[in-house]
């Protein structure tokens, strides 16, 4: 089971993305765990997940978080703004699975 961490300013808008990703995973028969958190929880949670996605509104945090994620060998990326805005859970899920497998 893949474990995906989504991080945004407060973890609220990302929760809607989580719901769409979970639905897409269920439709595809993929087992996964996704958790949405706020910026302040990143360091406490990253080691428990396979990868981390940042909401586009906090893409500026990638420079701070990438060295931490790299030190734990965890891929990290920013969610595409269009996919995030359109709540395209299936696209975000597929991009995330590619990120984990890369």
DSSP the chain: -EEEEEEESSSSHHHHHHHHHHHHHHHHT--EEEEEEEGGGHHHHGGGSSEEEE-GGGGGGHHHHHHHHHHTT--EEEPPHHHHHTT-HHHHHHHHHHHHH-
Q: What pLDDT is stored for residue 11 in this prediction?
A: 64
What integer is the mean pLDDT of 52-70? 95
Domain that residue 12 falls in: 2-101
Question: Does position 1 have pLDDT exceeding 90, yes or no?
Answer: no
7 is catalytic: no
Q: What pLDDT is stored for residue 61 in this prediction?
A: 95
For the domain that residue 35 is a member of, what is the CATH number?
3.40.50.2300
What integer is the mean pLDDT of 85-100? 94
What's the total number of domains in the chain?
1
Catalytic residue among 7, 8, 51, 52: 8
């Amino acid at each position: 089971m893949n474990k995906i961490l989504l991080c945004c300013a407060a973890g609220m808008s990302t929760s809607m993305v989580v719901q769409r990703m979970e639905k897409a995973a269920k439709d595809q028969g993929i087992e996964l765990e996704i958790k949405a958190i706020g910026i302040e929880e990143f360091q406490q949670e990253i080691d428990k997940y396979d990868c981390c996605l940042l909401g586009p509104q906090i893409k500026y945090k990638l420079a701070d978080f990438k060295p931490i994620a790299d030190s734990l060998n965890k891929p990290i990326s920013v969610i595409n703004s269009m996919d995030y805005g359109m709540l395209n859970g299936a696209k975000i899920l597929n991009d995330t699975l590619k990120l984990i497998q890369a």
